[in-house]
Amino acid sequence: MVDIDTFTTAAANGDISRVKQMLKNGIDPNGINRYGRTALQVMKMGCPDICRVLLNGGAHPDRQDGRSIALIHDLAREGHLDTLKVLVEVGKANINLRDGNDKQAIDLARENNYPNVADYLIRRSQATEVGV
Per residue in 22-47, pLDDT tens? 999 999 999 999 999 999 999 998 89
Counting other chains too, the contacts that 10-18 makes at CB distance below 8 Å and 24 or more residues apart are: 10/39, 11/39, 11/40, 11/42, 11/43, 11/44, 11/50, 11/54, 12/39, 12/42, 12/43, 12/44, 13/44, 14/43, 14/44, 14/47, 14/50, 16/47, 16/49, 16/50, 16/53
User: Confidence band (pLDDT; 50, 70, 90) for 130?
Assistant: low
Q: Is the domain of 68 the same as that of 113? A: yes
pLDDT at residue 1, as a whole number: 41
Structural domain includes residue 29: yes
pTM of the full structure: 0.91
Total domain count, the chain: 2
* Residue ranges making up the domain that contains 128: 61-132
pLDDT at residue 125, as a whole number: 87
Mean pLDDT taken over the chain: 93
pLDDT at residue 2, as a whole number: 60
Structural domain includes residue 53: no
The residue-averaged pLDDT of 81-99 equals 96
